[in-house]
Structure 1
Amino acid sequence: MATPAQWIEGARPRTLPAAISPVLVGTGAAAYLDGFVWWKALLALGVALTLQIGVNYANDYSDGIRGTDENRVGPLRLVGSKVATPGQVKTAAFTCFGVGAVLGIILCATSNWWLLVAGAASLLGAWFYTGGKKPYGYRALGEVSVFLFFGLVAVLGTTYVQAETLSWTAVAGAVSIGSIACALLVANNLRDIPTDTVTGKRTLAVVLGAANSRRLYAALVVLAFVLAAVSALATPWTLLAFIAIPLAVQSIRVVLSDAVGPALIPVLKGTGLTELLYAIGLGIGLALGG
C-alpha cells in the first residue's frame, strides 16, 4: 500500500501552479473590473486544485494500466511503480473530481447556471485526456486541452463568477496563462519522447520532434510576457509579471541546450514556478490598475 508521502508525490505537486495561477489572474482581472469577491475566489481555487489533482491521478491510472509509465524517467507514478493498485488510484481520481464538481455547483449557484456546461466539459476533458478507448492525449491534443481548460476556461470563469463581466485584459491574461501551462506540458512530453514513442503515446512532442518542441516551448513562454507588455496599455502595473523573467530565461536556456531525460526534470519545476510568479505579478498588477 502506498504511503501518504507517495500519494502526495503521485498527486504531482509541481503541477499545482497550473491550477493556482489561473485563479490568481482571473481574480486580479475581476478586481480590475471592481468585482472582486474573496469567497468566490476561494471556491474557484478549490475547484481548480481538486480538478488538477484529479486529472493527475486519472493520468496515473490510465497510463499505468496501459504500461506507458513502466520505464518513465520522471517522478513517481503510483500504478506504474506498483505501489498502489489501479483501483485505488482510480478511486482517488474520481473522489477529487467529485469534490471539484460539488464546489463548482455551489459556485454556479451563486453566479450563472450556464457555467455548469464549462464545468462538465472540464471534468470530461480531465478523464478522457488519457482515459477511455481513444484518449486525446495520445493524439497530440493535450496542449489544446491545457490551453482551453487551464487557460481560457479557468481564468475567464474565475473572472466572470466574481465580476459577472469580462474585459480584454482578462482575455489576454487567460491566453498568457494558457501559454505557460502549455509550455509546462511541452517540457514534460519533450522529456518523455523516447518512452512515449516506444509505447505508442503520440503526444505533440512526438509528432513535432525534439527540435521543434524546444522552439515551441520557448515561443509559448515568450508569448506570455509579450501579452503582459500589451496589457500595460490598460495599466502599467501588469509589467509586474516581468518578475518571472529570470526563471523563464533559465528554463528556456536548458530546453534550448538540447538537454534530455533527467536533465529536463528541473525545467518542470522552473516552468511551474515561472507560471506562479507570473500569475502573482499579473494578478496584483491588474488589481492595482482597477
Structure 2
Amino acid sequence: MEELDEAWNDFVAIDADPPPKREICSRCERPNTACYCSAITPSPIPLRNHLIMLQHPNEVKRCLRTTKIIELSLPPSHYHLYRAKRFTPKRFPDLFALLDSGERENILLFPSPTAVPLASLPPIPEKTGSKSATAYNIVVLDGTWSQAKVMFNSNATLRSMRSVALDNTAPSRYVIRTQPTETCLSTVEAVALLLAHLEEQPDIVELLTSPLKTICDHQINNGAVEHQSKEYLITNGLYGKPLKKRVKKYLDLNLKLNIKDLVC
C-alpha cells in the first residue's frame, strides 16, 4: 500500500503543462540557437526577373525548408509563393495575372524532354513577333522529384511553358540531406544558379547558398553527419535496400557514359 501511495504522489507531481518550447526566431522561423539570419544578405538582392515558387503542400512539413532563405533574400515585389498541387485561374487569380500579363516571358525549371540548358537561355528574352518582354517569370516547383512530376503533369499551364534544365556538375552544399544523385541540388541552390545566370550576377550563388552552409555547419557541429547521395551509396555497395528496375537502368546508363568520357 505504501508503494502505491508513493506512485500516486509521483503521478500527481507530474507537471500538467507541456514542456517549454525552444524560442523561435520570428524572421527565419528556426530556433534561436540555430538562427541563420546573420548569413542573409543585409538588403534584398535586386532583381530584374520575377521568381514564382509553386510549392507542393507536403513541403511545409519539412523542418528544413530552403525556400525561406530565398524569401528572406529577395525583394517581396519580385518573389511570389503559391502552395497547391493544381493551379487554376479561379483559385489563384494573382498567379495567372502575373503569367498572363505579357510583360515577361514565362519559363519553368523542369527537366522535361524539350527542356533547354540554362546556359543556352539568354539573360534577356529574345523578341519574337509582337513580344517585347525584357525579363522572365521564372517558375520553380518546390517539392521532391515525385511531387514535382505530379505538379507538372497536373497543370497544362506548366507544360505549355518553355522548360529549362540545369547543367550542374557540382555536388550539393546541402550535406545534411541525402540527395538522389551526385548533382541533385536543393531548391535554393537551383534558384541561385538560375538567377546568377539570368540576372548576370555571379555573386548571387554565394549570397543565396551562404545561409544554407550556416544551417549545415550548425547541424554538423551539434551531432549531425554529412550525407552521401543515394547514387554514391549504391555505386559503392553501401546501399542496403533493394533497387527498382528503372534505378538500375539509370545507374547502368550513367556508368556507361562515365566510361565513355574516360576513354575519350
Query: TM class, shorter-chain normalised?
Result: under 0.3
Structure with the higher fraction of residues in helix conformation: 1
The structure where strand makes up a greater share of residues is 2
TM-score with structure 1 setting the length:
0.25
Return the TM-score normalized by structure 2. Answer: 0.27
